[in-house]
Structure 1
């Protein structure tokens, strides 16, 4: 198993309320030249969690941090008109994301939780994930 030091949260940068899946992101990433979806998990609008890459494989989601991290992406992140970043997480996504993070922290107790924006000049994931989950054990 890979050594995991970080869990990095992303948004899909898609319009609020528009349903997409891990298969959609896989298609987009392949069109950009990736070999597969870059995230390990994708949290859908209804809270279902889909597997992207197996966690045994290095992801492709955060330059300079992929080797020792797990990438999670929630669907959404933009206003309904697509013009501005926005925390669009549904209540179902919030619950599922919290449960997934709790489970991953049990598996990797030394891993820290971050938003992509902590490592890149982006709004992603459109909320301060580091602060929101700082007390998660």
Structure 2
């Protein structure tokens, strides 16, 4: 198995014509346990750094500041 060095946070795009608020998306993440999943990944891969997809591609996702949310990596 290859060594895991980075955990990348990504989101899917909203289909055109559907409007969701930040509160909607935040609620979905909480309902689906996003924070728990990332914490579990950090336990399993303690040396891995956490990044947003937007750090590697010219994209806006995940539409929040990953470093601010999960601390400086």
> Per the shorter chain, which TM-score range?
0.7 to 0.9
Per the alignment, do residues 107 and 8 of structure 1 end up closer, same or farther by CA in structure 2, a change over 3 Å counting? same
Q: Gaps spanning 5+ residues in structure 1: where?
A: 16-78
Answer 1 or 2: which has greater strand percent: 1
TM score, norm. by length of structure 1: 0.43
Q: CA deviation at 1:121?
A: 1.3
Q: Matches of residues 47-58 of structure 1 in structure 2 within 5 Å?
A: none
Deviations 1:21-53 (A, max 9, x none): xxxxxxxxxxxxxxxxxxxxxxxxxxxxxxxxx
2: CA distance, partners of 1:135 / 1:94: 21
Query: Which structure exhibits the higher relative contact order, with contacts defined as CA atoms closer than 8 Å and separated by 6 or more residues?
Result: 2
TM score, norm. by length of structure 2: 0.76
Answer 1 or 2: which has greater helix percent: 2
> Residue 41 of structure 2 aligns to a residue in which SS?
helix
